[in-house]
Structure 1
Amino acid sequence: MYQPNQPADVIWPPTDLWSDEPPMESDWHRKQMQVLIDSLESHWHDRQDFYCSGNLTIYYSLTQRKSEDFRGPDFFVVLGCERRERRSWTVWQEGGRLPNVIAEILSDSTADIDRGLKKQIYQDVLRVPEYFWFDPQRFELCGFHLLEGRYVPLEATEAGWLWSGQLGLFFGALQGCLRLLTAAGAVIPTPAERAEAAQQRAEQAEQRAQVEKQRAGQERQRAERLAQRLREQGLDPDAP
């Protein structure tokens, strides 16, 4: 586990380390990572006490060296910190804070590492309270929480969702994508999805208004035809 107290003769690296992560394996991985980040930041728009990112290097070397001990989770959340942009998450510059939640998106080239080595590091070294992985090809969602120093599997709901006690939200696989859901089971939308939904509501409201306008016009035409027939019969349509 990371310890913030270091020997006096350590070599101090720059404090503004850049992330050292490889590019995403596919557009799908990039979009999946961004969906999680965007939806959480939007859902917690009024909070300033967290940081979430993805494919960003976490430097956690005990000797505070950039060249050793670093990982770049697909998605991670740190609680109790300042909400601001960062070039990387450098533990010794963040008061020793480590991720509260990590999620990895499995692929053919990373699945074994995500299920094995990374899980061990997150459990034994970083002591991440909750770890999730999602395999989009096998539609496999697994989650673990740290209990007495060991990862214990989280129990899924009937829908296959996993509860994150750290976030107070569910992780759920929906339509081939890993999403965050509220305790009530509502999918947390991204800002783009919110905007799209608002646009759809506006278009539907406009369509309803047009239908009502057409209906009102048809009613006026029927009333006018009826009044004309009454006049032709010598009757006053406005008579009480």
Structure 2
Amino acid sequence: MSASTITESDATPAESSLPFGVLVTPPPSDLPYDDGARMESPWHAHSAMLLKDSYVAAHGGLMTDYYIGVNMFVYYSWKQIRNNEYRGPDLYVVKNVDGTKPRLYWATWDEDGRYPDVIIELLSPSTEQEDLGAKKDLYEQHFRTPEYFCIAPEVERLSGWRLGADLRYHALMPDEHGRLWSEELGCWIGSWRGVYLGEEHTWPRLFHPDGTLVLVSAEVERERANAERERADALAARLAAMEEELARLRAGSDV
């Protein structure tokens, strides 16, 4: 989402002794959930949706025990609300929560102090410095988000970090295919060249632990339709061959 300044302290004096994300007084119920800022390009918007669809597909298609936010605000302190600072990641996953609960934003005080388990930012010239700097520090030092990934347009660069026992991010090393393993997602993150929503690009995709591509619902349906068509074509070919053989036998009996 749109870039903004993130300060060191995000809690009021009264809040400073409480766990991060826990508020002393009730928060307003009419928090903004849309700043009108669109994602940088169709590639950015479609990549976020493709990653979301891929995670849903990899985990049974039902968001009953996890939540995925796309370009969605994350609220965590009064100071942030007062100063209108920091909006939210391009995509984040929170595990072991009710994903069917309707949400306009993620507010930590409404979610038992829970923060995202995985955050993915899709880099652009206008956000890259903050995504790799202030936001990375925020996710590491305050959110304690276990994994953080940054993906450049057309997946020209893919970077990832995992929070270590020292509560610092440590870079993830790619495999021979340039993919990064996500312990939290249970999948590899890598690149795939192809057509999605009518546009051909190099897209960020999820891959199963064995390296096979996680197919989204449209791809599964297309494969099913192709398989049915192949079966129908094979059956038609067999019937044609049988009819041809039957005609040959009939012709022979008339001789």
Q: In the alignment, does 2:187 pair up with 1:163?
A: no
Offset of residue 55 of structure 1? 0.5
TM-score for both structures, normalised by structure 1: 0.86
CA distance in 1, matches of 2:52, 2:36: 17
Choose 1 or 2 for highest CA Rg: 1
Check whether the contact 2:21–2:77 (CA below 8 A) recurs between aligned residues: no
User: Equivalent residue of 2:143, what SS?
Assistant: coil
Check whether the contact 1:3–1:62 (CA below 8 A) recurs between aligned residues: no
2:44 matched residue in structure 1:
29
Calculate the aligned-residue CA RMSD, in Å.
Answer: 2.2
User: Equivalent residue of 2:206, what SS?
Assistant: strand
Offset of residue 64 of structure 1? 7.3
Q: In the alignment, does 2:143 pair up with 1:126?
A: yes
Question: In the superposition, relative to structure 1, how do residues 19 and 94 fare at CA in structure 2: closer, same or farther (>3 Å)?
Answer: farther
Question: In the superposition, relative to structure 1, how do residues 111 and 190 fare at CA in structure 2: closer, same or farther (>3 Å)?
Answer: same
Offset of residue 102 of structure 1? 0.7
Check whether the contact 2:23–2:77 (CA below 8 A) recurs between aligned residues: no
Check whether the contact 2:23–2:78 (CA below 8 A) recurs between aligned residues: yes
Alignment of 1:3-18 (within 5 A): 3-7=20-24, 10=25, 12-14=27-29, 18=33
Offset of residue 66 of structure 1? 6.2
Offset of residue 149 of structure 1? 1.6
Question: In the superposition, relative to structure 1, how do residues 97 and 15 fare at CA in structure 2: closer, same or farther (>3 Å)?
Answer: farther
CA distance in 2, matches of 1:16, 1:80: 25
Which of the numbers 224, 229, 235 marks the counterpart of 1:203? Answer: 229
- Unaligned runs of 5+ residues in structure 1 are 230-240
CA distance in 2, matches of 1:138, 1:31: 13
Offset of residue 65 of structure 1? 2.9
Offset of residue 182 of structure 1? 1.0
Identity %: 30
Letter in 2 for 1:81: V
1:238 matched residue in structure 2:
none
1:221 matched residue in structure 2:
247
1:95 matched residue in structure 2:
112
Check whether the contact 1:102–1:132 (CA below 8 A) recurs between aligned residues: yes
Q: How many residues matched? A: 227
Check whether the contact 1:42–1:191 (CA below 8 A) recurs between aligned residues: yes
- Unaligned runs of 5+ residues in structure 2 are 1-9, 11-18, 194-201
Which of the numbers 181, 193, 214 marks the counterpart of 1:188? Answer: 214
2:99 matched residue in structure 1:
83
